[in-house]
Structure 1
Amino acid sequence: MEAPFAITEFVKRPGLGRDGRGIKVRANFFEVLTLPENDIIQYDVTITPDVPPRLNRRVFNKFSELNRGGALGGARPVYDGRKNMFAHKDMPFGNAGTFDVNLEEDGAAVGSKRPPRLFTVKIKKVSVIRIEELLRFLNARGSCTPNCLTAIMALDILIHHEPSILYTTVRKSFFTPQGARPLSGGTEVWQGYYQSARPTKGRMMINIDLSATAFYEAGPLVQMVTKILGRRSPDDLRRGFSDRDRQKVEKSIKGLRIRDNHLPGRKRKFKIERLTPTPASNTQFDRGDGSNIDVATYFYQQHNRRLNHAYLPCVIVRKNVYLPMEVCDVIEGQRHIRKLDDRQTADMIKFTCQQPQQRANKIRQGLDILNYRNNEYLRQFGTRISTEMAVVNARVLPAPLLNYHPSSREASFRPNFGQWNLRDKKVATGATLGSWSILAFMNERELRDQTIQGFIRELVNTCQETGMNIHNRNPPLDRANPQGNIEDSLKKIWLKAGNTAKAQPQIILCILPNTGVPLYAEIKRVCDTVIGVASQCVQFKHTLQPKKQYCANVCLKINVKLGGMNSFLHPAHIPFITDKPTIVMGADVTHPAPGNSVRPSIAALCGSMDARASRYAASIRIQSGGTEIIVDLANMVKELLKTFYQTCGRKPERILFYRDGVSEGQFKQVLEKEIYAIRAACQALDKDYKPNITFVVVQKRHHTRFFPIERRDTDRTGNCPPGTVVETDITHPFEFDFYLQSHAGLQGTSRPTHYHVLFDENGFNADGLQTLSYNLCYIYARCTRAVSLVPPVYYADLVCTRARFHSHSGVWSDTESSEEGTGAMATFGVVKQELQRVMYFM
């Protein structure tokens, strides 16, 4: 194999696009009007003993107060809570200094290790940050050097320093209890504000957005426990706790910080370790003289306090220290870091879902709280920040021509506002369905045969009208116990389908009693990896009075699962794909929840299989948890290139590779490793095979939002219209990136997708890549809307989600203990060969 080719800087912007109608929009970016004139001095801070950032900040702020006049020479340095301190001038103490700080005890939880009162703060000068170098980068006269990155980090720490003193902070956001809304289960949601310093062409900007997170409600612990158990008042708990109640409460409140309230004038702080198995009236402890007493009696004798809720368990705050629940109050400002349940999640979405105008106003309110104008830290560094939201240039790209079957009434049309319907349209290629069966995970009493048959009739009619060929209108029906052996039930009905139709079964339609994950996951595991047959799940509530629209949506999914094609774009609208054999690929890696070291990460790659980029095949790999680079990418690419060749009879001459889920800090590493893997895959097939590669990172997790200025430039939800593209003002100073809002708003404020080209041998200009990416969003097979990101990436994401269900040990569940997932690497089933070439994951 030849030496790896050199990948230097990422692709430079190849000029600006011209297609579409020009409009102006507001973006939630605020210009840094003046950067520091002088260089910034960076110091390294070490605080001993080692404590969490929250306490580090308190120590540092105390140190600042004590030494402002002396060792700091009147300066107000800023600090990130960990290692970095920045000052606007050299400190009088020279290159290094050591200081002692006494912190009065506050917030110390009794029973946990007491934070020591004496801290040592060591400060050492590390470097001088030249602002001149940052300006060269912003004006495209220099590259992004480590010095530039440090300057941007310094600006970030400068804008975060004051909020971190005043508010609860989490990474780049700070949260305020003003306007908090209760969620269920003793939690509430707080409004937060995110801020981040971003380099753009010729200037620095501050990106400000809303964020929200869950906190525990402060107040009486008894109230919280009542809410956790979903009761109306503490009196509803009189019958005592069942074992299950106890476990639920203990899991929810373990680690919570509380104050006791039974000693006049003295409130101590504790951390909850666990609950007693017995109520306060039955929980005995040793008085110290060999005699035992229960907690309720002790409180009456010792504190003259008769317990109102002696039937509740006590909280254990350290060995042999029991507190009745009613003497405990939950301390304010504690983040709820456990997974929210379904109801809490729904409430949270309601709170965070805001129309564009409303969101823009809330961001402006955040600016009032931030109060940049009167921020002494900013003033001292000579930094001023605009309070006006940036107005940026945008273009609205025209919708492409979409094609259905020639016999449709409207076989070719341009959708309006990113959406259309299937009325009078037939799918481009309808699959033929002859061998199939129905499996209802409900008994006859819950769902009658007649109802199921009525639904199947409606579904079959809709499929026929939409252009599919269904030979067998009365497939065999069976019933199964959702708690029973699902694998056996599916194998049985599969055999029945085959025997009835005297042909290989093509799909099993499953009717589910609810939206629970375990049953769905097991159906997918068995059908995808054990039997090798497509499956379509429907919830039983949709079968009761079948709606045409619902049946049409199910039909779109069934058609592609059987190898059909729903729609395609006019070749003139995707010339890059139709001119020469071209494969479009989408890749994604999903990781286990933070802190779960056992569960693996899953990598998925999807590749187009025809000249229309409408059909895709997928490849999956399981890799060790948390690895962002796709470890076995070369073999995955090889698999899909082979499939493309077998399907089309030609090798792709070009590869357009969209990569999801990579943060800026990982660009270089991912690019070098993954481009190399794509190259290696091509050369392993044939040493002279060198298709041109374009590698684009696709990001959805960012805080950029657009707000229309003119009424005529909005869709019906108040968002920018589909096809809005922004490539100046708030993008990279000189690299090839752009924001594209390709979908119509459904609710809340739409989030544009950020595309960043890291490598390009195909010589794309701005219009070419922006229009192609936008047009592809119209042929996502699952719905009749333009979607928010290019389909290959969307499909890769679906494949990752599906692959989680292919594990034998149920490691897809987000709640299982880490022990259960042990050895998970080996237990993932492989998708059967028969399904690998169709879109089984829809």
Structure 2
Amino acid sequence: MSSINPQISDFALRPGVGRQGRSIKVRTNYFEITVLPFPEIYHYDIRITPEVPPALNRKIFKTAENLFREKDFGDVRPVFDGCRNIFTAKPFPFGDAATFDVTLPEDDGASAGRKRPLSSFKFKIKKVAEIDMEELNKFLDGRCSMSNNIITGIMALNVLIRHKPSMLYATGGRSFFTNQGSRALFGGVEVWQGYFQSVRSTPGKMMINIDLCATVFYESGSLVQMVVKILNKRTVDDLSRIEFTDRDRRKLEKSLKNLRIYVTYRGENFSNRRFRINKLSSTAASHTKFEVDGKQKDVATYFQETYNKHLQYPFLPCVIVRNETYLPMEVCNVVEGQRYMRKLNEKQTEDMIKFSCQPPSVRANKITQGLSILNYQQNEHMQQFGLQVSNEMAVVQARILPAPKLQYHPSSREASFIPKNGSWNLLNKKVATGATLGSWACVVFGSERDYPQQAVQEFLRELITTCKNTGMNIPNTNPPILHSSPQGDIEKSLRQAWVRAGNSTRSQPQLILCILPNTGVPLYAEIKRVSDTVIGVATQCIQGKHMFAAKKQYCANVCLKINVKLGGMNSFIDPSQVPFITQRPTILIGAFVTHPAPGELNTGRPSIAALCASMDAKVSRYAASIRVQTGKLEVIADLAEMVKELLKTYYQTCGRKPERILFYRDGVSEGQFKIVLEEEIKAIRTACKSLDEQYKPTITFIIIQKRHHTRFFPMDDKDSDRTGNCLPGTVVETTITHPFEFDFYLQSHPGLQGTSRPMHYHVLFDENGFNAYSLQTLTYNLCYLYARCTRAVSIVPPVYYAHLVCSRARFHATGENWSDTDSTSEGPGTANYAACIIIIPQEAKDINICLG
């Protein structure tokens, strides 16, 4: 990379490529663009008034294209992004600007009996620029930096490849979806297969990243059939056997609001009309009355007399569309292709995962099959632009990094070993540092009838035995056991357990073991809120079903969690294999910001930022800092103070200041790289300076991206694990990476099911002089140090812990309306995985968390 101008990028340049590790080849879901448009692309701004959604914009555009092609567009085949941008391979014949009037028949919700209205739109096109494609070639070869011209050129290519699918199929973001092979989910919805497309710049060439995706749509067809499914009935006949309650009506209204329908009782011409459901009537069709010729008449009677339509289900409410028009449900059909934007419940999520969880070989084959749907070769728009795309997946060079040597307690029969295929077990091993558990209690959230005292005691005996065999010290083998109602006063129950634990040993309580009747969020959230912010004691939650079948493996996993909560250390890596951390005082920091769900953006719910930082040379102990900040704000607003807290804690723990800072930052999109780097590096420097004017540790700032569509497929069985995925330690740093910046893909974890997703690490700033291999190896080795399992994980532990901290912090907000379907974590863990965090209550904005 020595020929690259160091001023070519604001971010760190690739220092070369790694050589160590076993070299292999893998296929990846990238397809090379073999011929780019040349020499220029024409960019036009389009304004359609009045403003309408992208789907209708595309319909207007298509109508205009058909109307004005011969006279105004000539042989130009423009592509449209659905919003404001049009791109062409040659200029429009009409010159730099033109205005057109387009009329569309309205199909969304005119009331019955009215003449079908027409909608008129004004269509203004104005030339913006000519995109020089030669500059894009220079960028790919590392001869120039990113510019607005290059950004617009890449956007034009993305619009080009997405234009035709967007005109033919349902779309969402960068994906389009088809109902071929769709599968019904619980509750009147179905999952559709989709294809994601994105043009990516890589060394010397442009490539298209194509991947499978899936999303949920409402089932089309009979509205009554949908009602049956929403109310969880078996057949339509079951509706006639039930009493339709207000609760049913409210549930239906919530599910059906804004759903588009068409009616079937007035002939084929009228069935083209589209209505949108506003609400449901409060009474059944047989009792919903309105005025006809000065007389009150119910809907059922009106349909019988006017359309000779006898209602089979007069007891169902009517749907109400605009202008207070009442329609019986049985004359309504659901329009196809409507995305379901609500949160999925537990059953729907389970079915969705089954549909989308594709083994690597199946996924690769389906991606290749998707090329026939995309049909790049026969796309008339791409032909005019001169764009050509390979039909073959790219084959890339990869390396498999060696796994590190793990260390357990010296008295273990297997005190040190190298894990195979990214996982191991605790057989013949004792934790590196065993904690002592003396003062504790057990709370069973359920009745003694459901959870007999004897069964609880048997489980505790098995758990205690396993913990002792694993190296923990548990002098108190008979903790108090309390039964409590899961619907009762949780805080009172935990306080009682805390008092009983302290009284039984006359010492400060260390742990409350909680046995839960289900996996629901509300009970778990309240336990963590109380234990973390009110009582100040560690809790360990387990599911009741595991108590009755206490397997040693399960108890061993619980032991790992308990040990780190009480200050123990489960394992560590040989210091020689993490020299960057062990040779000089070094602090690892993981950062993450979690945002409100899309449906909660206007509810005032904040974003939560968390940092987790290592506190020792074995990177086994962590401290954390949390801040609440404005919703959807990506830059960590109070980062300087948060880093300052962690640096002070490190100094108090180790007696030395960190000389190096390795900062892993998660949750940042490419468009935000520059602002996040500028603001957050500045904040880190400010934190250091506030402690000592002369304190200037060297900083490496790395972005981790997990929300991407890059996948790897082994070409040789010896390079794959039992699930068909690439082996842990597979790293890719050429062919599909950035043309010249320092980034790489690392798949550090063993596959469980489906196709594994590698993490994308992008170095934005590096004062520590990493070479490619040293950073890749350090990052991979760290993935073996996640304290709560005996597996290499997919992301470095400080970031994993930061995810868990954000998830836990949501539970600390009083008044949250938790439901079983709430999503509280955007990270690799779920609510139940947050249990390793011990929170020491301080003032609300400054909660300090110690993990392990």
TM range (shorter): over 0.9
Tell me what 1:190 maps to.
192
Q: CA deviation at 1:318?
A: 2.6
Tell me what 1:212 maps to.
214
- Alpha carbons 1:38, 1:88 under 8 Å: kept: no
Per-residue displacement from partner, 1:596-617 (whole Å, max 9, x unpaired)?
Answer: 2211100010000100111111
- Alpha carbons 1:39, 1:130 under 8 Å: kept: yes
Q: 5 Å matches for 1:355-504?
A: 355-504=359-508
Distance of 1:97 and 1:281 partners within structure 2: 56
Q: 5 Å matches for 1:117-128?
A: 117-128=119-130
Relative to 1, partners in 2 of residues 1:838 and 1:79: Cα closer, same or farther, differing over 3 Å? closer
Q: Which amino acid aligns with 1:768?
A: S
Task: State yes or no: 1:832 paired with 2:833.
Answer: no
- Alpha carbons 1:276, 1:315 under 8 Å: kept: yes
Q: 5 Å matches for 1:143-162?
A: 143-162=145-164
Q: CA deviation at 1:330?
A: 0.6
Q: CA deviation at 1:311?
A: 1.3
- Alpha carbons 2:840, 2:849 under 8 Å: kept: no
Relative to 1, partners in 2 of residues 1:784 and 1:564: Cα closer, same or farther, differing over 3 Å? same
Distance of 1:116 and 1:392 partners within structure 2: 54
Task: State yes or no: 1:271 paired with 2:273.
Answer: no
Tell me what 2:703 maps to.
697
* Correspondent of 1:225 among 224, 227, 231: 227
Distance of 1:703 and 1:815 partners within structure 2: 26
Distance of 1:113 and 1:359 partners within structure 2: 50
User: What is the number of equivalent residue pairs in this alignment?
Assistant: 824
Task: State yes or no: 1:559 paired with 2:559.
Answer: no
- Report percent identity of matched pairs: 64
Distance of 1:48 and 1:383 partners within structure 2: 32
Distance of 1:230 and 1:66 partners within structure 2: 48
Q: Which amino acid aligns with 2:801?
A: Y
Q: What SS class does the counterpart of residue 469 from structure 1 fall into?
A: coil
Q: What SS class does the counterpart of residue 429 from structure 1 fall into?
A: coil
Distance of 1:830 and 1:711 partners within structure 2: 46
Tell me what 1:510 maps to.
514
Greater Cα shift, 570-579 or 64-73 = 64-73
Tell me what 1:823 maps to.
none
* Correspondent of 1:710 among 716, 724, 729: 716
Q: 5 Å matches for 1:516-665?
A: 516-596=520-600, 597=602, 598-665=604-671
Greater Cα shift, 35-44 or 736-745 = 35-44
Task: State yes or no: 1:47 paired with 2:48.
Answer: yes
TM-score computed with the length of structure 1 as normaliser: 0.96
Distance of 1:430 and 1:443 partners within structure 2: 34
Distance of 1:34 and 1:49 partners within structure 2: 39
Greater Cα shift, 106-115 or 460-469 = 106-115
Task: State yes or no: 1:340 paired with 2:344.
Answer: yes
Q: CA deviation at 1:115?
A: 8.0
Relative to 1, partners in 2 of residues 1:362 and 1:471: Cα closer, same or farther, differing over 3 Å? same
Distance of 2:457 and 2:93 partners within structure 1: 85
Distance of 1:523 and 1:127 partners within structure 2: 59
Q: Which amino acid aligns with 1:282?
A: H
Tell me what 2:287 maps to.
282
Q: What SS class does the counterpart of residue 778 from structure 1 fall into?
A: coil
Distance of 2:117 and 2:154 partners within structure 1: 33
Q: What SS class does the counterpart of residue 292 from structure 1 fall into?
A: strand
Q: What SS class does the counterpart of residue 598 from structure 2 fall into?
A: coil
Relative to 1, partners in 2 of residues 1:766 and 1:110: Cα closer, same or farther, differing over 3 Å? farther
Distance of 1:149 and 1:370 partners within structure 2: 24
Tell me what 1:318 maps to.
322
Q: What SS class does the counterpart of residue 224 from structure 2 fall into?
A: helix
Per-residue displacement from partner, 1:547-594 (whole Å, max 9, x unpaired)?
Answer: 111111111001111111111000011000000000000000000011
Q: CA deviation at 1:109?
A: 5.4
Tell me what 2:796 maps to.
790
- Alpha carbons 1:736, 1:756 under 8 Å: kept: yes
- Alpha carbons 2:344, 2:821 under 8 Å: kept: no
Q: CA deviation at 1:811?
A: 5.3
Per-residue displacement from partner, 1:156-186 (whole Å, max 9, x unpaired)?
Answer: 0000001011111111100011111111111
Q: What SS class does the counterpart of residue 329 from structure 1 fall into?
A: strand
Per-residue displacement from partner, 1:437-471 (whole Å, max 9, x unpaired)?
Answer: 01111111111011100000000011101111111
Distance of 2:558 and 2:165 partners within structure 1: 49
Q: Which amino acid aligns with 2:41?
A: I
Provide structure 2 residue ranges, at least 5 long, that are not aligned to the other structure.
Answer: 1-6, 824-837
Q: CA deviation at 1:240?
A: 2.8
Per-residue displacement from partner, 1:591-650 (whole Å, max 9, x unpaired)?
Answer: 001142211100010000100111111111111111101111111111111111111111
Relative to 1, partners in 2 of residues 1:453 and 1:115: Cα closer, same or farther, differing over 3 Å? farther
Q: What SS class does the counterpart of residue 784 from structure 2 fall into?
A: helix
- Alpha carbons 1:562, 1:838 under 8 Å: kept: no
Distance of 1:113 and 1:153 partners within structure 2: 42
Q: CA deviation at 1:99?
A: 1.0
Task: State yes or no: 1:733 paired with 2:734.
Answer: no
Distance of 1:303 and 1:122 partners within structure 2: 45
- Alpha carbons 1:276, 1:283 under 8 Å: kept: yes
Q: Which amino acid aligns with 1:101?
A: V
Q: Which amino acid aligns with 2:646?
A: L
- Alpha carbons 1:19, 1:397 under 8 Å: kept: yes
* Correspondent of 2:775 among 765, 769, 773: 769
Tell me what 1:260 maps to.
263
Q: CA deviation at 1:496?
A: 1.0
Q: CA deviation at 1:92?
A: 1.6
Q: What SS class does the counterpart of residue 470 from structure 1 fall into?
A: coil
Q: What SS class does the counterpart of residue 478 from structure 2 fall into?
A: coil
Task: State yes or no: 1:36 paired with 2:40.
Answer: no
Distance of 2:8 and 2:435 partners within structure 1: 45
Q: Which amino acid aligns with 1:153?
A: M
Per-residue displacement from partner, 1:125-166 (whole Å, max 9, x unpaired)?
Answer: 111110011001000000011111100000000000010111
Distance of 2:115 and 2:841 partners within structure 1: 54
Distance of 2:169 and 2:819 partners within structure 1: 34
Q: CA deviation at 1:740?
A: 0.1
Q: CA deviation at 1:19?
A: 1.4
Relative to 1, partners in 2 of residues 1:812 and 1:686: Cα closer, same or farther, differing over 3 Å? farther
- Alpha carbons 2:839, 2:849 under 8 Å: kept: no
**Cα RMSD after superposing both structures:** 1.9
Q: CA deviation at 1:117?
A: 2.4
Distance of 1:115 and 1:412 partners within structure 2: 78
Tell me what 1:19 maps to.
20
Aligned structure 1 segments of 4 or more residues deviating by more than 3 angstroms? 104-116, 811-817, 833-840
Tell me what 1:820 maps to.
none
* Correspondent of 1:686 among 692, 696, 715: 692
Q: CA deviation at 1:69?
A: 2.4
- Alpha carbons 2:211, 2:367 under 8 Å: kept: yes
- Alpha carbons 2:181, 2:193 under 8 Å: kept: yes
Q: What SS class does the counterpart of residue 196 from structure 1 fall into?
A: strand
Distance of 1:439 and 1:196 partners within structure 2: 52
- Alpha carbons 2:409, 2:432 under 8 Å: kept: yes
- Alpha carbons 2:521, 2:818 under 8 Å: kept: no
Distance of 2:115 and 2:764 partners within structure 1: 49
Q: What SS class does the counterpart of residue 779 from structure 1 fall into?
A: coil
Q: CA deviation at 1:68?
A: 2.1
Q: What SS class does the counterpart of residue 396 from structure 2 fall into?
A: strand
Q: CA deviation at 1:406?
A: 0.6
* Correspondent of 2:807 among 801, 808, 816: 801
Distance of 2:746 and 2:192 partners within structure 1: 30
Distance of 1:37 and 1:324 partners within structure 2: 58
Distance of 1:150 and 1:689 partners within structure 2: 42
